[in-house]
């Protein structure tokens, strides 16, 4: 009979994988992840059958964490301007507070290991924020473009804003607001 899975052990593997992938990239060995998690190497495969499964789980769970953080309070934010400001502020502040997760997501975002079904699940989970960006963008210069273009531009700007906020925490709020105004004007 298989031993029951321990949620703390699973979370330790996830946390260790985030740290190691942020530091070493996707070549981080599963043995190193298990060692950092304080579990036997074979235990990692009790929770994740393959490294690819671990990577897809990481991508999905961290993206869902970000989406949940961004969406918290979004529906109470008012009109489109206030909603987009809420989304922007929460997104960039989450990124500044979670540099290892951002670095890990950057690695996984360009990885062939992350399955299309995993990417589709993230997109489905993010429909509220995605729809908001698309509604705002439909009124501006991008209105006749593929809606994914607006999303990619917003994501790139969020990464840039978050980088600058992380480099200069004393100016983080001003950077957040200035880049939001840039975003708002660019989309409208």
Q: Give residue 4's pLDDT.
A: 63
Mean pLDDT, residues 91-107: 97
**What is the percent of the chain where pLDDT is above 70?**
98
Q: Give residue 6's pLDDT.
A: 87
Contact 86, 173 (CB under 8 A): no
Helices (H) then strands (E): counts for the chain: 10, 0
Q: Give residue 44's pLDDT.
A: 93
131-183 residue pLDDT tens:
999 999 998 999 999 989 999 999 999 999 999 999 999 999 999 999 999 99
**Domain limits, CATH 1.10.357.10, in the chain:** 52-187
Q: pTM of the full predicted structure? A: 0.92
Q: How buried is 108 (Cβ within 10 angstroms: 0-12 exposed, 13-18 middle, 19+ buried)?
A: buried
- Give the fold, CATH level 3, of 1-49: Arc Repressor Mutant, subunit A (1.10.10)
pLDDT at 1 over 60: no
The mean predicted confidence, pLDDT, of the chain is: 95
77-91 residue pLDDT tens:
899 999 999 999 999
Q: Would you state the CATH architecture of domain 52-187?
A: Orthogonal Bundle (1.10)
Q: Give residue 3's pLDDT.
A: 59
**Domain limits, CATH 1.10.10.60, in the chain:** 1-49
């Amino acid at each position: 009979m298989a031993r029951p899975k321990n949620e703390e052990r699973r979370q330790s593997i996830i946390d260790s994988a985030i740290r190691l992938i942020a530091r070493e990239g996707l070549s981080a060995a599963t043995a190193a992840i298990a060692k950092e998690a304080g579990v036997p190497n074979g235990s990692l495969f009790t929770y994740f059958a393959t490294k690819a499964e671990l990577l897809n789980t990481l991508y999905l769970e961290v993206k869902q964490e970000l989406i949940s953080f961004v969406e918290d309070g979004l529906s109470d934010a008012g009109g489109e301007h206030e909603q987009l400001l809420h989304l922007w502020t929460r997104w960039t502040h989450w990124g500044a507070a979670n540099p290892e997760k951002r670095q890990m997501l950057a690695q996984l975002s360009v990885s062939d290991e992350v399955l299309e079904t995993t990417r589709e699940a993230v997109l489905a989970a993010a429909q509220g924020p995605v729809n908001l960006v698309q509604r705002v963008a439909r009124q501006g210069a991008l209105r006749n473009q593929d809606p994914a273009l607006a999303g990619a531009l917003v994501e790139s700007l969020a990464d840039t804003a978050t980088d600058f906020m992380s480099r200069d925490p004393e100016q983080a709020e001003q950077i957040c607001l200035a880049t939001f105004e840039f975003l708002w004007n660019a989309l409208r």
